[in-house]
Amino acid sequence: MGKDTQAPPTSTVDDAKPKYTIRAAAQRTGLPPETLRAWEKRYGVPAPARSLSRYRLYSEEDLGEIRWMKVLVDEGIPPRQAAQLARERRAAGRAFQDSPARETGALVLDLKSACLAYDEDRAHKILRHAATVMRPNEIMRKVLLAAVAEINRDWETGLVTPAQEHFASKIARRFGVRIMSLFRERTDANTVVLACAPGEHRELGLLTLAVEARASGMRIVYLGADVPVDALLSAVRDLRPTIVVVAATMTAHLDPWLAAAAAVRPHARKTRFLWAGPGVHQATAKGLPGVEATTIDEALQALTAGHPVIPPTAAR
């Protein structure tokens, strides 16, 4: 697993040298001296050296720590929590020069190596850490799907076994379902029911769409893989959702829906149907009511904009 054991950057002796006064530190980090004092007093971040006359003297490392914490705080992480992460990082001897993009890359590699080792606990620890540095819907796309894609690349070249690849997609699925509950739904939320077409077991694209829709405040009823046509239509009768999303990654998976087009049409008066995924080409041309979207971004746009949506109360 050579690729995964990338050494984190370490700091040099020079980086540790105390040399900046609080005024210079403030100029270099863009934070006022009062904030620097407050962070140090309340959270112990950073912990600058003192001159003989007891003035604070900041090192390059200290400045890196401040900037690192500032990125987290700017992203909406409470300072206490951001400081806790900074202290843990300091204790682990990791440098603070990492950009957020590099941080994301490191999370993907960490998660990949946890999945290859079938280490679910470590995978969850990594995802919990990710939750403190980015929004949950970003974790789904930037970390989980990126790790699945990484693993898949190695699988294609024979470096990863199908079992490891299954394990990774199971982690992605489980976490995706869980993170939906982290978002609050809007009080005027539209209900969206999402299901994979019959025989469709690849659900990570649909799940990503569900997480994004939940993040935008929609009420989500996520039914997952391989949902029979009758079962979904009965859920539509019961829930009267504003939108139903049916996912297909292969065109053949949409055949049962094409065969049932006549039974779908009456439902389309109150519910909008969105046929989504790479396998839905020509679904509407072939007689299904509603709209089509191939990519997650297109589908999200179709869910959230461009179409007047009936509030759930009016639809009932």
Closer of 35 and 216 to ligand B12 (Cβ) = 216
Any contact of residue 256 with ligand B12 (CB under 6 A)? no
Residue for token digits 């391989």?
226
Touching ligand B12, residues 143-162 (CB under 6 A): 145, 148, 152
Any contact of residue 212 with ligand B12 (CB under 6 A)? no
Identify the residue among 65, 203, 212, 292 touching ligand B12 (CB under 6 A).
Answer: 203
> How many residues of this chain bind ligand B12 (CB under 6 A)?
27
Closer of 79 and 198 to ligand B12 (Cβ) = 198
Cα–Cα dist 11/14, whole Å: 8
Identify the residue among 249, 264, 267, 290 touching ligand B12 (CB under 6 A).
Answer: 249
Identify the residue among 18, 33, 100, 278 touching ligand B12 (CB under 6 A).
Answer: 278
> Cα–Cα distances in Å, from 308 out to 153, 222, 241, 243, 302?
41, 22, 14, 11, 10
Cα–Cα dist 84/87, whole Å: 5
Helices of type H across 134-161 = 136-138, 146-156
Cα–Cα dist 148/204, whole Å: 10
Closer of 244 and 293 to ligand B12 (Cβ) = 293
Any contact of residue 223 with ligand B12 (CB under 6 A)? no
Any contact of residue 209 with ligand B12 (CB under 6 A)? yes
Cα–Cα dist 212/295, whole Å: 13
Minimal distance, residue 148 CB to ligand B12, in Å: 5
Closer of 204 and 221 to ligand B12 (Cβ) = 204
Closer of 29 and 249 to ligand B12 (Cβ) = 249
Closer of 26 and 168 to ligand B12 (Cβ) = 168
Interaction pattern, residues 280-299, with ligand B12; x per rule: CB under 6 A:
-------------x-xx--x
Question: Looking at the DSSP assignment, which residues form a beta bridge with residue 274?
Answer: 245, 291
Any contact of residue 42 with ligand B12 (CB under 6 A)? no
Question: Are the C-beta atoms of residues 247 and 224 closer than 8 Å to each other?
Answer: no
Closer of 3 and 153 to ligand B12 (Cβ) = 153
Of 152, 273, 277, 162, nearest to 208 (Cα)? 277
> Cα–Cα distances in Å, from 208 out to 142, 172, 177, 223, 224?
11, 10, 9, 13, 11
Sign of the torsion formed by the C-alpha atoms of 59, 60, 66 and 72: negative
Cβ within 8 Å of residue 86, ≥6 positions away: 43, 45, 46, 65, 68, 69, 72, 96
Any contact of residue 137 with ligand B12 (CB under 6 A)? no
Any contact of residue 193 with ligand B12 (CB under 6 A)? no
Taking the alpha carbons at both ends of the chain, their separation in whole angstroms is: 55
Footprint of ligand B12 (CB under 6 A) = 145, 148, 152, 165-166, 169, 173, 199-206, 208-209, 247, 249-250, 276-278, 293, 295-296, 299
